[in-house]
Amino acid sequence: MFSRDRWLEIFDSIKKNKLRTFLSGFTVALGILIFVVLFGFGNGLDNTFDKFFTDDALNTMWVNAGRTTKPYMGYKANRRIEFDNKDLEDITNRFAFYIDGITPRISESGNIGYKLKSNNYSVRGVGPFHQKNEMTIMMQGRYINGLDVENKERNVVIGRLVKQDLFGDEDALGKFVSGGGRSWKVIGVFQDDGGDNEERIVYVPYTTLQLIQKNTDKLQQIIISYKPEIGYAGAVTFENQLKKYLKQKKFIDPTDPRGVFIRNIASELSRNDQFKSGLSSIILFVGIGTLLAGIIGISNIMVFVVKERTKELGIRKAIGATPSSIIGMILQEAIFITSISGYIGLITGIGILKLVGNTLEEDYYILDPYVDLNTAILATFLLIGFGAFAGYLPAKRAAKIKPIEALTDK
Amino acid sequence: MIKIKDLHKSYKMGSNSLHVLKGINFEVEEGELVAIMGSSGSGKSTLLNILGMLDLLDKGTYDLDGVPIKDLDETKAANYRNKFLGFVFQSFNLINYKTALENVTLPLYYQGFKRKEREEEALRYLDNVGLKEWATHLPSELSGGQKQRVAIARALVSKPKVLLADEPTGALDSKTSKEVMALIQKINKDGKTILIVTHEEDIAKMCSRIVRLKDGVIMEDKKNKMVKAI
Domain end, chosen from A258, A281, A296, is at: A258
Does B138 contact chain A (CB < 8 Å)?
no
Domain membership flag for residue A264: no
Whether residue A240 is found in the same domain as residue A114: yes
Considering only the beta carbons, identify the residue of A322, A325, A409 that sits closest to B91.
A409
B191 is in which domain, residue-wise?
30-56+75-223
Considering only the beta carbons, identify the residue of B75, B107, B111 that sits closest to A324.
B75
Mean pLDDT within A64-86: 88
CB A410 within 8 A of CB A314: no
Mean pLDDT within A21-38: 84
Distances (CA, A) of A74 to A130, A251, A253, B90: 36, 9, 11, 114
Kindly report the pTM of this predicted structure: 0.64
**A176-179/A182-191 β-pairing:** antiparallel
CA B124/CA A239 separation, integer angstroms:
95
CA A84/CA A221 separation, integer angstroms:
9
Mean pLDDT within A69-89: 88
Quick check: helix, strand or coil at residue A59?
coil
| Model confidence pLDDT, tens digit, residues B115-138 | 899 999 999 999 988 899 999 999
Whether residue A306 is found in the same domain as residue A220: no
Asked whether the beta carbons of residue A5 and residue B78 sit closer than 8 angstroms, the reply is no
* Single-letter code of the amino acid located at A137: I
Q: Quote the percentage of chain B above a pLDDT of 90.
A: 43
Give the DSSP letter of residue A275: H
Which CATH number belongs to the domain containing residue B207 in this structure? 3.40.50.300
Whether residue A45 is found in the same domain as residue A146: no
Which carries the bigger pLDDT value, residue B22 or residue A379?
Answer: B22
Domain membership flag for residue B228: no
List, edge to edge, every strand of the sheet that includes B67-68: B16-28, B2-13, B59-64, B67-68
ipTM surpassing 0.85, yes or no?
A: yes
Domain end, chosen from A258, A283, A310, is at: A258
Does B98 contact chain A (CB < 8 Å)?
yes
CA B36/CA B212 separation, integer angstroms:
6
Q: Tally Cβ neighbours within 10 Å of residue A348.
A: 16
CA A97/CA B227 separation, integer angstroms:
116
CB A126 within 8 A of CB A104: yes
Residues 6+ apart with CB under 8 A from B133: none
| Model confidence pLDDT, tens digit, residues A109-155 | 888 998 888 889 999 999 998 888 888 889 989 999 989 999 999 99
Domain membership flag for residue B113: yes
**B85-88/B162-166 β-pairing:** parallel
Whether residue A113 is found in the same domain as residue A171: yes
Whether residue A323 is found in the same domain as residue A367: yes
Domain membership flag for residue B204: yes
Phi and psi for B24 in degrees, rounded to 5? -95, 130
Considering only the beta carbons, identify the residue of A322, A323, A407 that sits closest to B93.
A407
Whether residue A90 is found in the same domain as residue A234: yes
Domain end, chosen from A230, A258, A286, is at: A258
A48 is in which domain, residue-wise?
4-53+271-407
CA B152/CA B127 separation, integer angstroms:
12
Q: Tally Cβ neighbours within 10 Å of residue A253.
A: 17
Residues 6+ apart with CB under 8 A from A51: A367
CB B54 within 8 A of CB A404: yes
Asked whether the beta carbons of residue A404 and residue B54 sit closer than 8 angstroms, the reply is yes
